[in-house]
Chains A and B, each alone.
Chain A
């Protein structure tokens, strides 16, 4: 479904990916995990054709994203859905119009058909009663569910979630976790979940990739990763601060930096 092969990508001279390989099978939930700053969001930009790799290839639904014309890219994007971290709802439209937006743009449906379609998608995320609200009136969890309804309204074949659990209370988080599983199974969608919430994403993912240092350092089912003896994998899965992944950003020697900060005597 989605194949990433040998991708290299750098932003402003800083290498983000150095030979990344990923395979996402059809109809499964694939999790991409990793510490902050490992390029998880960059990966999503590559998958949706907002950025292109310096070398290597990104194939989505059998098409090489980098080789597509603008028209072909837009056609490909119509077959994909994406849930943004903060929902990214259009603030000048209400909930109903937000969900209807992609349909109005891409398909000429009679109003009654459109209305039924949107209500069905809102019902699927449990927010049919909120159709008249504006995005500003929604809580974070509700906004994300509306965004999810919008992401599935065009019946995508691939659905990408960008950090779907960040900033949610436990109840909303549980709802989103179950929704991802249910939508995946009921609609036969291929799901890609990018997250660093190991517990939540691990509980629903069929297969996991762990990114670090620009490559996929580990992969497997959640049970396999939990049982891994690799120090970096263990550290990440258990959320420990001890291990190969450093808490400190690279810096010059600590004692020397304090000494260099100037003479304390005379500084009043």
Chain B
């Protein structure tokens, strides 16, 4: 228990140091844009694919479920709310932790293992500012964008299966969604995506930065990144959902 508290304390202090390092890092947009590309654009294919498939599954499952209540016209609302508020941010964050989080942790861990971070310190360059801050900002900016793309593909997938295969009326699908899904639902999803972006990216850079400088240490850091991110994303999701009720 004390170990967990210490870990949380260390993470919080690290977050403060990273945030402080972000201020000067913002003056150089080049590295940040490159990291948005690394974390965001390179995760696009897996995010789009999963978004589409999740949407298609919902198209099948929700139409079936709703038909039993005779209310398949509510497919648009059900899918829209589920995606925007829960599935979009959570699934994107889990995929992000697996795709971008691991690569961040192992990249920084390897820089640690090959003395690159120490070399920077000896050259009087703060590695937090130069290595960690751009990657952190890149991840935090990329996450909401990825969530939006996931949601769009998800709704498209639901519509594709629900309307064309399961026979839900297309006009009803869209108009119900338009009427019932409000701006607050979109905001909730966006807030979650930003929080998850901070959580996943912070854990990845933290684990990489503090990795043991060995092959085993780097491997362990990537594993811990995925596990800790997945658990924390779900816990934060519960707390945020409760807060928005």
Binding site for B on A (CB under 8 A): 48, 50, 74-75, 77-78, 80, 82, 84-86, 88-91, 101-102, 105-106, 150, 154
Contacts and interface: CB of A to CB of B under 8 A. Distances in A.
Which of B111, B120, B124: most chain A CB closer than 10 A? Answer: B124
B116 A48 contact: no
A88 B121 contact: no
Which of B123, B126, B130: most chain A CB closer than 10 A? Answer: B123
B42 to A, nearest CB: 15
Interface of B: 110-111, 114-116, 118-126, 130
12 contacts: A50-B118, A74-B126, A75-B124, A77-B121, A77-B123, A88-B115, A88-B116, A88-B118, A91-B114, A102-B125, A105-B130, A106-B124
B125 A91 contact: no
B116 A90 contact: yes
A82 B116 contact: no
A106 B130 CA distance: 13
A81 to B, nearest CB: 8
Contacts of B120: 90
Contacts of A91: 110-111, 114, 116
User: Which 4 pairs of residues, A with B, have the shortest CB-CB distance?
Assistant: A88-B119, A88-B115, A77-B124, A74-B124
A84 B124 contact: no
A117 to B, nearest CB: 15
A105 B125 contact: yes
A95 B195 CA distance: 38
B123 A102 contact: yes
B6 to A, nearest CB: 18
B142 to A, nearest CB: 18
Nearest to B129: A105
A86 B125 CA distance: 19
A12 B120 CA distance: 26
Contacts of A102: 123-125
A77 B116 CA distance: 16
B31 to A, nearest CB: 10
B122 A80 contact: yes
Nearest to A73: B124
Nearest to A44: B122
B119 A78 contact: no
Contacts of A86: 114-115
Nearest to B120: A90
B213 to A, nearest CB: 11
B114 A88 contact: yes
Contacts of A48: 121-122
Given A82-B122, A88-B114, A101-B123, 19 more contacts: A48-B121, A48-B122, A50-B118, A74-B124, A77-B122, A77-B123, A77-B124, A78-B123, A78-B124, A84-B115, A86-B114, A86-B115, A88-B116, A89-B116, A90-B111, A90-B116, A91-B111, A105-B125, A105-B130
